[in-house]
Amino acid sequence: MDYQTPQDRQYTKSHEWVKIDGSTATVGISDYAQHALGDIVFVELPDVGASFGVGDAFGVVESVKAASDVYLPVSGEIIEINEALLDAPETVNSDPYGAGWLAKVQLSADASDLLDPATYAQHVAEEASK
C-alpha cells in the first residue's frame, strides 16, 4: 500500500509530522499512522500554553483498536490546538496533513533528529512489512 508523504515537511520514527515555519511549527500524525490506527474516535489535545520537550507525549489519538500517545517532534510551547478535532476526530483520517493537524508550537530550540520525507517513507515501508 502507498502512503502519502508530502515533501514540504519532516517526520519522526513514531509517525508524527512537523512543518516548521520560522519560529513556529505545526504538528500532526502521518498518513501511515492514521491508517494503522484505523477509524479515529477521539483526540485529546494539550492546553494552550503548556510546554513540552522533544519526544514528550503531548496528546492522545484513540481509535476503536487502541489509544496512542502522540509525541512532540520539537520542543516548545503550545500556541494553538485544532479544536475542530474534538467534535470531528475523523478529520485526522480524512486529511492528516491538512485539516487534521493537531497543534501549533512556538519553538524553544532548533529542531534536530527529524526525518526527511524519503527517509521516513523508507521507515514506513519497513514498518508496514512487519
Partner 1 sequence: MNTYEPPIFELSGSGKVGASLPAVGVPTSELPSELLRTDDLQGLPELSETEVVRHFTRISQRNFCIDTGMYPLGSCTMKYNPKIHEEAARLPGFAHIHPLQDEASVQGALRLSYELQQLLAEIAGFDEVCLQPAAGAQGEFAGILVFRAYHLDRGDEQRDEVLCPNSAHGTNPATAAMVGFKVIEIATDARGNVDLADLRAKVGPRTAGLMLTNPNTLGLFDEHVQEVAQIVHDAGGLMYGDGANFNAILGIVRPGDVGFDFMHYNLHKTFTTPHGGGGPGCGAVGCKAFLAPYLPGPIIHHENGQYTRYVPEKSIGRVKSFMGNFGMFVRAYTYIRMLGAAGLREISENAVLNANYLRVKLQDVYPVAYDRPCMHEVVLQGKLKDAPDIHTLDIAKRLIDFGFHPPTVYFPISVAEAIMIEPTETESKQNLDAFIAAMRQIAHEAVETPEVLHAAPTTTPVRRLDEVGAARKPVLKYDRAAIAALRGQAASTDDQIVRPTY
Q: Is 125 in the site for partner 1 (CB under 8 A)?
A: no
Residues of span 88-117 touching partner 1 by CB under 8 A: 89-90
Nearer to partner 1, 112 or 129 (CB): 129
Indicate the residue among 21 and 127 with the shorter CB distance to partner 1. Answer: 127
Q: Is residue 83 a contact point for partner 1 (CB under 8 A)? A: no
Binding characters for partner 1, 27-56, by CB under 8 A (x = yes): ---------x--x-xx--------------
DSSP string covering 2-55: -----TTSEE-TTSEEEEEETTEEEEEE-HHHHHHH-SEEEEE-PPTT-EE-TT
* Residue of 13, 69, 62 lying closest to 46 (CA atoms): 69
Interface pick for partner 1 out of 64, 110, 112, 126 (rule CB under 8 A): 64
Asked if residue 126 binds partner 1 (CB under 8 A), the reply is no
> Minimum Å distance from CB 2 to partner 1?
13
Closest to 36 (Cα-Cα) out of 16, 19, 21:
16
Distance, in Å, from the CA atom of 73 to the CA atom of 11, rounded to the nearest integer, reads 8
Among the listed residues 39, 42, 75, the one whose alpha carbon sits nearest the alpha carbon of residue 59: 42
Binding stretches for partner 1 (CB under 8 A): 36, 39, 41-42, 62, 64-66, 68, 89-90, 130
